[in-house]
Amino acid sequence: MRELEDVLYRLGKVLMAPREAFDTHIVERYTSALPLALYVGVSFALSALTVKGFVGLLGQIPLYNIGWLLELLANLAGVIGVAGGLVDLLIYSSLIHVTARLMGYEEGRWDDIIGLVAFSSAPLVFPTALAAVGYLFSHILLIVSVVLVVPFSLWSLYLIVVATSVNYEMSMGNAIVASVVGPLVAVIVAIALTSKLGAVGLVITVIGIALIYLERRR
Amino acid sequence: MGNEEKLGALILALLLFSVAVSLVPTSLKYKYGTGSIPLPWMTGKGSYSGSIPSDTISLIVDMGQVDVTGDPSIQEPNIVMEGVSPVVEERTGRMVAGRLALHLPDGWDGELRVKMGMGAITLRDVPVRSLSVELGVGSVDGSLEVKENVSVRTDKGSVKLTIYVPEDVKVHVKVKALEGSIYYDGEKVEGGTIERTFGHGERVVNVEVDSYSVQLDLRRGKG
């Protein structure tokens, strides 16, 4: 019972006092099990409900030849969403970590920032639940929930900035650079090189980031 | 229980609810048609042209345009498809999206079935024994010469047809629509649900149409 209370407390604390919640997560050396469970649940439900809902909208038109394919994709959307979400979590957390190190911050662990970024998905529970209600009862509610994902994602991004600030003991301004600007620049460079050179461009980006990171760590 | 625990309980409850609902398979909520698998990477073609010598022809198209034309210059039915994954399986022409044209020879005495998800179906002086159309969203219009049955159903759409029937038949018409009208020998019948028999004769031609808007012009002399 105490474990459940502890879980509920940590979940609530992330939204009510994120800095304190993240600090406790690091200091108490909690595992990333709870944040990852939250992240996987949100990724699964949000992607599955969004895709299934829009396939449902299309379902009003009888698609005799490709209806089965849409249905298959819809029923696999949750799994695909989780796989994509976990890859996104690993890449994004790694980019934050690398940027923080390049900025000279030696505190903060990589596995902690993974847990904290996963924890920051908590606000997305609300539009996800609305999408679930919309999936069951109303397509309009479903569309509203998809629109609401944008402001709730901004809330989530704010939590990531706070998490970065706590994990690497940096100011909020530097945390914005480490968690937003740095990863954004890396993604833009990766897209630009990939569009010019294909997969080679992506490899060059990854190797480039690794070399810069190792050079600065020397 | 403090405010943090209450909020945590709400988050956990919403998460469990969302995951549970997202596990509901779509097949329980929505009905899809079933069909074979004419996908681009399986057919590798964007067009198909050839004869389809059969007295029962089915056309199954998800989205696009279907034109059926009576053509006195040909001897057997001919089909032309341009679009995504055109396939002919025995007597069935299938396509995911695009334009399908079917030419029928003069006096063709066969059965034509058309199933379409969304789009327009146009008939130009089409000679058939029976016609059956199932359309999700779109329109069906044009003219045809029929000997036995016409059945047209759209989920959301309109139907405007001129139907020629043989001289010696009576025509039994059932119309279900928001706005329906039937013209026959200078007579006009209007209404949402109409069931009438026109003309006299031993044989019967059955016409059944279910759509949002229906306009039928029944004429004797061909078919």
User: In Å, how far are B73, B150, B185 from B162, measured between CA atoms?
Assistant: 23, 12, 12
Q: What is the pLDDT along chain A (218 residues), one digit of tens a residue?
A: 788 888 999 999 999 999 999 999 999 999 999 999 999 999 999 999 999 888 877 777 788 887 777 888 888 999 999 999 999 999 999 999 999 999 989 889 999 999 999 999 999 999 999 999 998 888 889 999 999 999 999 999 999 999 999 999 999 999 999 999 999 999 999 999 999 888 888 889 889 888 888 887 76
Q: Do A41 and B15 touch (CB under 8 A)?
A: yes
Of B8, B22, B60, the CB nearest to A11: B8
Q: 118-157 in B: which are within 8 Å (CB) of A?
A: 118, 134, 136-137, 155
> Would residue B102 be called left, alpha or beta, if left means φ above 0 and alpha means ψ between -120 and 50 degrees?
beta
The answer, for A141 touching chain B at a CB cutoff of 8 Å, is: no
The answer, for B39 touching chain A at a CB cutoff of 8 Å, is: yes
H or E segment at A82? helix A67-102
Strand partners, B141: B122, B160
pLDDT digits (tens, 9 = 90+) for A47-106: 999 998 888 777 777 888 877 778 888 889 999 999 999 999 999 999 999 999 999 898
Q: 50-69 in A: which are within 8 Å (CB) of B?
A: 52, 55-56, 59-69
pLDDT digits (tens, 9 = 90+) for B54-80: 889 999 999 999 999 999 999 999 999
Per-domain residue ranges of chain B: 40-220
| Contact call for residues B107 and B51 (beta carbons, < 8 A) | no
pLDDT digits (tens, 9 = 90+) for B134-183: 999 999 999 999 999 999 999 999 999 999 999 889 999 999 999 999 99
Name the pTM for this structure. Answer: 0.75
Of A46, A49, A67, the CB nearest to B33: A67
In chain A, the residue whose alpha carbon lies closest to the alpha carbon of B3 is: A12
CA distance A165 to A159: 10
Q: Do B4 and A122 touch (CB under 8 A)?
A: no
CA distance B157 to B47: 28
Q: Do A66 and B39 touch (CB under 8 A)?
A: yes
Chain B nearest C-alpha distance from A147 (Å): 17
A-to-B residue pairs, Cβ atoms closer than 8 angstroms: 160
Residue B153 phi/psi, 5-degree rounding, is -135, 130
The answer, for B18 touching chain A at a CB cutoff of 8 Å, is: yes
CA distance B185 to B16: 66
B interface mutation test: which of A61, A79, A145 has the most B CBs within 10 A? A61
| Residue B223, pLDDT score | 46
CA distance B58 to B84: 18
Q: How many domains does chain A have?
A: 1
The answer, for A1 touching chain B at a CB cutoff of 8 Å, is: no
Provide CB contacts within 8 A for A22, sequence distance 6+. Answer: A14, A116, A119, A162, A163, A166, A167
Q: Which one-letter DSSP state was computed for residue A172? A: H
| Contact call for residues B28 and A72 (beta carbons, < 8 A) | no
Q: What is the DSSP string of chain B?
A: --HHHHHHHHHHHHHHHHHHHHTS-HHHH----------HHHH--SEEEEE---SEEEEEEEEEEEEEEEETT-SS-EEEEEEES-EEETTEEEEEEEEEEEEEETT---EEEEEEEEEEEEEEEEEEEEEEEEEEEEEEEEEEEEEEEEEEEEEEEEEEEEEEE-TTEEEEEEEEEEEEEEEETTEEEEEEEEEEEES--SEEEEEEEESSEEEEEEEES--
Closest by Cα among A131, A77, A138, A156 to B18: A131
* 3-state SS, residue A36: helix
Residues of chain B neighbouring A62 (CB-CB closer than 8 A): 31-33, 115, 117, 134, 136, 155
* Residue entry with tokens 């609305």: A130
Provide CB contacts within 8 A for A57, sequence distance 6+. Answer: A139
Residues of chain A neighbouring B34 (CB-CB closer than 8 A): 64, 67-68
Residues of chain A neighbouring B4 (CB-CB closer than 8 A): 8-9, 12-13, 16
